[in-house]
């Protein structure tokens, strides 16, 4: 049985360190379980992974290991957990940031979400770098390197996880499978992660033996999806007295008038009669 409602499930190898140094840096504050899926043939130092709640030596590609986990090893997790965070092992994000991602995803009802990339991150699509004025952005697609899925979205998208080896284009298919929503795929700019290694230069691209660009084309054709849908539909921005002065004034005015309406409502004739009746009967308001 799951200890918590949130879980990180991440690929892990002999050179992976962020799961210990950053993700679980503050163990006492951790509001999630951690499952590591080991992809190297040989485990050089098994004791390094004892802090993980779960560890499976599946020796495969990230999304193929995830598919195997949910269909053969731990299918019950699709009911036991509410949110699933699939971080690449080269993602630098701390315990508090991870906790916030789970909390924000639940509060906003996202299907798939991700943290914003730091300015110094390696990235394929600059739109995923942080927009400092934004709280969050509603977009057309979330990348494969660090998506956070709701349980419902994961069940819908799971068949695509084994659509190819490289995972290129799999995120394009997710948008199609979810019906191209305009308010369920969210980048949270209030949480920052750093992608620490260059895109397309990891061990994966040596091992797969295929052209990822061809795989991208093939999987989108197979599922009838747009090749990419990297666009922003809308956003929520922070409002302060220094930025967006008009909006700030209207917000403050709205709060003021709402308070006045409440006062008027509280002291209209009916309320006064009810109040005095209650007092006469010795009742509390």
pLDDT by position in tens, the chain (length 285): 566 899 999 999 999 999 999 999 999 999 999 999 999 999 999 999 999 999 999 999 999 999 999 999 999 999 999 999 999 999 999 999 999 999 999 999 999 999 999 999 998 889 999 999 999 999 999 999 999 999 999 999 999 999 999 999 999 999 999 999 999 999 999 999 999 988 766 666 667 778 889 999 999 999 999 999 999 999 999 877 665 555 555 555 565 555 544 444 444 444 544 454 454 445 544
92 membership: H or E segment, kind and range: strand 91-92
pLDDT, position 124:
87
**pLDDT at residue number 265:** 47
CA–CA separation, 80 vs 35, rounded Å? Answer: 14
Task: Supply 75's token pair.
Answer: 């299918």
Q: Are 192 and 118 in contact (CB under 8 A)?
A: yes
CATH code that applies to domain 6-237: 3.90.550.10
For CA atoms 237, 238, 242, 245, the dihedral sign is positive
Output the pLDDT for position 248: 54
pLDDT at 209: 77
pTM of the model: 0.83
Q: Within 10 Å of residue 197's Cβ, how many Cβ atoms? A: 13
Phi, psi of 41 (to 5 degrees): -65, -40
Tell me how crowded residue 205 is: count the other CB atoms within 10 A of its CB: 14
Give strand pairing partners of 34.
8
Sorted by sequence, the CB contacts under 8 Å of residue 182 that are 6+ apart come out as 138, 140, 233, 234
Kindly report the number of other CB atoms within 10 A of residue 120's CB atom: 10
């Amino acid at each position: 049985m799951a200890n918590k409602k949130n879980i990180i499930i991440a690929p892990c190898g002999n050179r992976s360190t962020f799961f210990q140094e950053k993700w679980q840096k503050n163990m006492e504050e951790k509001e999630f379980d951690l499952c590591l899926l080991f992809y190297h043939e040989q485990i050089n130092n098994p004791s390094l992974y004892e802090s993980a709640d779960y560890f499976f030596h599946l020796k495969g590609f990230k999304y193929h290991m995830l598919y195997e986990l949910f269909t053969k090893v731990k299918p019950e997790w699709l009911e036991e957990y509410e949110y699933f965070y699939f971080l690449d092992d080269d993602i630098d994000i701390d315990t508090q940031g991870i906790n916030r991602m789970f909390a924000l995803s639940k509060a906003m009802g996202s299907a798939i979400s991700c943290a914003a990339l730091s300015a110094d991150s390696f990235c394929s699509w600059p739109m995923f770098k942080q927009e400092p004025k934004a709280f969050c952005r509603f977009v057309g697609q979330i990348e494969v390197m660090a998506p956070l899925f709701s349980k419902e979205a994961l069940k819908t998208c799971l068949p695509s996880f084994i659509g190819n080896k490289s995972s290129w284009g799999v995120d394009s298919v997710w948008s199609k499978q979810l019906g191209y929503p305009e308010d369920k795929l969210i980048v949270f700019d209030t949480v920052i992660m750093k992608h620490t290694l260059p895109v397309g230069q990891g061990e994966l691209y040596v091992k797969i033996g295929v052209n990822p660009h061809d795989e991208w084309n093939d999987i989108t054709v197979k599922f009838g999806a747009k090749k990419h849908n990297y666009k922003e539909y809308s956003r929520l921005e922070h409002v302060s007295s220094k930025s967006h002065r008009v909006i700030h004034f209207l917000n403050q005015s709205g709060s003021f008038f709402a308070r006045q309406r409440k006062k008027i409502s509280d002291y209209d004739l009916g309320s006064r009669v009810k109040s005095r009746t209650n007092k006469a009967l010795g009742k509390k308001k």
